[in-house]
Amino acid sequence: MFTGIVTDIGEVITLEQRGDLRARIATGYDVDGIDIGASIACNGVCLTVIALGAAPRNWFDVEISAETVSATNVGNWAVGKRLNLERALKVGDELGGHIVSGHVDGVAQVISMHDEGDSTRVTFRAPEGLAKFIAPKGSVALNGTSLTVNEVSGAEFGVNFIPHTKTATTWGDVVVGDMINIEIDTMARYVARLQEFA
Protein backbone atom coordinates (compact mmCIF):
# COMPACT_ATOMS: atom_id res chain seq x y z
CA MET A 1 0.00 0.00 0.00
CA PHE A 2 1.04 3.59 -0.69
CA THR A 3 -0.20 7.11 0.09
CA GLY A 4 0.35 8.89 -3.21
CA ILE A 5 2.94 11.18 -1.60
CA VAL A 6 5.94 11.07 -3.95
CA THR A 7 9.24 10.81 -2.05
CA ASP A 8 11.77 10.65 -4.90
CA ILE A 9 12.07 11.31 -8.60
CA GLY A 10 13.77 8.40 -10.32
CA GLU A 11 15.14 8.08 -13.83
CA VAL A 12 14.97 5.15 -16.24
CA ILE A 13 18.58 4.25 -17.06
CA THR A 14 18.07 0.99 -18.96
CA LEU A 15 15.16 -0.90 -20.54
CA GLU A 16 15.54 -4.47 -21.76
CA GLN A 17 12.98 -6.89 -23.14
CA ARG A 18 13.70 -10.35 -21.66
CA GLY A 19 10.32 -12.01 -22.04
CA ASP A 20 9.09 -9.45 -19.51
CA LEU A 21 10.32 -5.87 -19.65
CA ARG A 22 13.20 -5.19 -17.25
CA ALA A 23 13.88 -1.60 -16.18
CA ARG A 24 16.76 -0.17 -14.18
CA ILE A 25 15.76 2.98 -12.31
CA ALA A 26 18.19 5.45 -10.74
CA THR A 27 17.05 6.69 -7.34
CA GLY A 28 17.98 8.96 -4.48
CA TYR A 29 16.86 6.27 -2.03
CA ASP A 30 19.54 4.58 0.09
CA VAL A 31 19.61 1.16 -1.55
CA ASP A 32 21.09 -0.37 1.62
CA GLY A 33 17.65 0.19 3.15
CA ILE A 34 15.75 -1.57 0.34
CA ASP A 35 15.22 -5.34 0.38
CA ILE A 36 15.01 -7.55 -2.68
CA GLY A 37 11.27 -8.18 -3.09
CA ALA A 38 10.31 -4.73 -1.77
CA SER A 39 7.51 -2.85 -3.52
CA ILE A 40 8.16 0.58 -5.01
CA ALA A 41 5.49 2.56 -6.85
CA CYS A 42 6.95 3.86 -10.11
CA ASN A 43 4.61 6.45 -11.69
CA GLY A 44 1.90 4.78 -9.63
CA VAL A 45 2.66 1.21 -10.73
CA CYS A 46 3.52 -1.12 -7.84
CA LEU A 47 6.67 -2.96 -8.94
CA THR A 48 8.89 -5.50 -7.17
CA VAL A 49 12.60 -4.84 -6.69
CA ILE A 50 14.64 -7.72 -8.12
CA ALA A 51 18.17 -6.25 -8.01
CA LEU A 52 19.98 -3.30 -6.40
CA GLY A 53 23.20 -1.44 -6.90
CA ALA A 54 25.04 1.77 -6.01
CA ALA A 55 27.50 2.46 -8.80
CA PRO A 56 27.77 4.91 -10.38
CA ARG A 57 24.35 5.97 -8.98
CA ASN A 58 21.94 4.20 -6.63
CA TRP A 59 19.61 2.03 -8.70
CA PHE A 60 17.08 -0.78 -8.53
CA ASP A 61 15.77 -3.18 -11.17
CA VAL A 62 12.16 -4.23 -11.71
CA GLU A 63 10.47 -6.68 -14.07
CA ILE A 64 7.23 -5.56 -15.71
CA SER A 65 4.80 -8.07 -17.20
CA ALA A 66 3.15 -7.61 -20.59
CA GLU A 67 -0.20 -7.25 -18.78
CA THR A 68 1.14 -4.29 -16.76
CA VAL A 69 2.67 -2.70 -19.86
CA SER A 70 -0.67 -2.95 -21.70
CA ALA A 71 -2.73 -1.54 -18.81
CA THR A 72 -0.46 1.43 -17.95
CA ASN A 73 1.76 4.04 -19.60
CA VAL A 74 4.89 1.90 -19.06
CA GLY A 75 4.98 1.29 -22.82
CA ASN A 76 5.90 4.99 -23.20
CA TRP A 77 8.89 4.78 -20.87
CA ALA A 78 12.28 5.50 -22.44
CA VAL A 79 15.82 5.87 -21.15
CA GLY A 80 16.03 9.24 -19.40
CA LYS A 81 12.33 9.36 -18.45
CA ARG A 82 11.76 10.71 -14.95
CA LEU A 83 9.39 8.77 -12.68
CA ASN A 84 7.51 9.55 -9.49
CA LEU A 85 8.68 7.08 -6.83
CA GLU A 86 7.18 6.07 -3.51
CA ARG A 87 8.24 3.31 -1.13
CA ALA A 88 5.57 1.12 0.45
CA LEU A 89 3.72 2.45 3.49
CA LYS A 90 4.99 1.26 6.87
CA VAL A 91 2.83 0.91 9.97
CA GLY A 92 3.01 4.22 11.81
CA ASP A 93 3.82 6.32 8.72
CA GLU A 94 1.89 9.54 8.22
CA LEU A 95 -0.99 9.10 5.77
CA GLY A 96 -0.68 12.44 4.01
CA GLY A 97 -2.47 11.51 0.79
CA HIS A 98 -5.00 8.69 0.49
CA ILE A 99 -4.77 4.91 0.38
CA VAL A 100 -3.27 3.89 -2.97
CA SER A 101 -2.71 0.27 -4.00
CA GLY A 102 -0.36 0.77 -6.93
CA HIS A 103 -2.77 -1.23 -9.12
CA VAL A 104 -3.39 1.14 -12.02
CA ASP A 105 -6.97 1.10 -13.36
CA GLY A 106 -6.26 2.65 -16.73
CA VAL A 107 -4.69 5.55 -18.59
CA ALA A 108 -6.05 9.10 -18.79
CA GLN A 109 -4.94 11.72 -21.32
CA VAL A 110 -3.90 15.32 -20.64
CA ILE A 111 -6.20 17.40 -22.87
CA SER A 112 -5.46 20.95 -21.69
CA MET A 113 -3.23 22.96 -19.36
CA HIS A 114 -3.30 26.59 -18.31
CA ASP A 115 -1.74 28.64 -15.55
CA GLU A 116 -3.85 30.08 -12.74
CA GLY A 117 -1.55 32.35 -10.76
CA ASP A 118 1.49 30.25 -9.81
CA SER A 119 -0.49 27.02 -10.12
CA THR A 120 -1.37 25.04 -13.26
CA ARG A 121 -4.86 23.69 -13.99
CA VAL A 122 -4.69 20.43 -15.95
CA THR A 123 -7.71 18.79 -17.56
CA PHE A 124 -7.70 15.03 -18.15
CA ARG A 125 -9.95 12.68 -20.10
CA ALA A 126 -10.53 9.43 -18.21
CA PRO A 127 -11.48 6.13 -19.84
CA GLU A 128 -15.28 5.93 -20.06
CA GLY A 129 -15.46 2.97 -17.67
CA LEU A 130 -13.64 4.90 -14.92
CA ALA A 131 -15.36 8.28 -15.26
CA LYS A 132 -18.19 7.33 -12.88
CA PHE A 133 -15.69 6.85 -10.05
CA ILE A 134 -14.29 10.40 -10.27
CA ALA A 135 -16.08 13.06 -8.22
CA PRO A 136 -15.46 16.75 -7.44
CA LYS A 137 -13.33 17.12 -4.29
CA GLY A 138 -12.66 13.38 -4.36
CA SER A 139 -9.21 11.79 -4.50
CA VAL A 140 -7.49 10.25 -7.48
CA ALA A 141 -3.95 8.95 -7.99
CA LEU A 142 -2.31 10.15 -11.21
CA ASN A 143 1.17 8.85 -12.04
CA GLY A 144 1.33 7.82 -8.39
CA THR A 145 0.49 11.26 -6.98
CA SER A 146 -2.47 11.67 -4.61
CA LEU A 147 -4.51 14.58 -5.98
CA THR A 148 -7.84 16.29 -5.36
CA VAL A 149 -10.29 16.56 -8.25
CA ASN A 150 -11.52 20.14 -8.79
CA GLU A 151 -14.32 19.61 -11.29
CA VAL A 152 -15.85 16.87 -13.43
CA SER A 153 -17.70 17.07 -16.74
CA GLY A 154 -18.53 13.68 -18.22
CA ALA A 155 -15.25 11.82 -18.66
CA GLU A 156 -13.19 15.00 -18.24
CA PHE A 157 -11.90 16.23 -14.90
CA GLY A 158 -9.58 18.99 -13.71
CA VAL A 159 -6.79 19.08 -11.14
CA ASN A 160 -4.86 22.09 -9.85
CA PHE A 161 -1.09 21.68 -9.41
CA ILE A 162 0.60 24.01 -6.93
CA PRO A 163 4.26 24.98 -7.50
CA HIS A 164 5.50 22.56 -4.81
CA THR A 165 3.83 19.59 -6.55
CA LYS A 166 5.33 20.60 -9.90
CA THR A 167 8.86 20.65 -8.47
CA ALA A 168 8.66 17.72 -6.00
CA THR A 169 7.23 15.37 -8.66
CA THR A 170 7.40 14.94 -12.43
CA TRP A 171 4.28 17.07 -12.98
CA GLY A 172 6.47 19.95 -14.14
CA ASP A 173 7.42 17.77 -17.16
CA VAL A 174 3.86 17.02 -18.33
CA VAL A 175 2.51 18.32 -21.66
CA VAL A 176 -0.82 18.14 -23.47
CA GLY A 177 -1.29 14.70 -25.03
CA ASP A 178 0.62 12.81 -22.33
CA MET A 179 -0.91 9.53 -21.18
CA ILE A 180 -1.15 9.30 -17.39
CA ASN A 181 -1.61 6.29 -15.10
CA ILE A 182 -4.86 6.62 -13.14
CA GLU A 183 -5.92 4.73 -10.03
CA ILE A 184 -9.37 5.55 -8.75
CA ASP A 185 -10.07 5.90 -5.04
CA THR A 186 -10.82 2.53 -3.43
CA MET A 187 -13.73 3.98 -1.46
CA ALA A 188 -15.33 5.27 -4.69
CA ARG A 189 -15.11 1.76 -6.15
CA TYR A 190 -16.85 0.21 -3.13
CA VAL A 191 -19.57 2.87 -3.04
CA ALA A 192 -20.32 2.24 -6.72
CA ARG A 193 -20.41 -1.51 -6.13
CA LEU A 194 -22.79 -1.15 -3.18
CA GLN A 195 -25.14 0.98 -5.27
CA GLU A 196 -25.50 -1.92 -7.69
CA PHE A 197 -27.30 -3.82 -4.92
CA ALA A 198 -29.37 -0.92 -3.57
Residue 47 structural domain: 8-87
Q: pTM of the entire structure?
A: 0.93
**Same domain, yes or no: 14 and 80:** yes
Read off the pLDDT of each residue in 51-76 and give the average, rounded to a whole number: 96
pLDDT over 80 at 92, yes or no: no
Q: Are residues 175 and 129 in the same domain?
A: yes
Position 193 pLDDT exceeds 90: no
The band of 190, judged by pLDDT with boundaries at 50, 70 and 90, is confident
* Residue 38 and residue 71 in one domain: yes
Query: Has residue 196 got a pLDDT over 80?
Result: no
pLDDT tens digit sequence for 111-148: 999 999 999 999 999 999 999 999 999 999 999 999 99
Q: Is the pLDDT of residue 188 over 80?
A: no
Q: Are 87 and 6 in contact (CB under 8 A)?
A: no
pLDDT in tens, 4-38: 999 999 999 999 998 999 999 999 999 999 999 99
Same domain, yes or no, for 113 and 188? yes
The CATH number for 44's domain is: 2.40.30.20
Kind of pairing between the strands at 119-125 and 106-116: antiparallel
Note whether residue 60 is domain-resident: yes
- Residue 79, φ and ψ in degrees, nearest 5: -60, 130
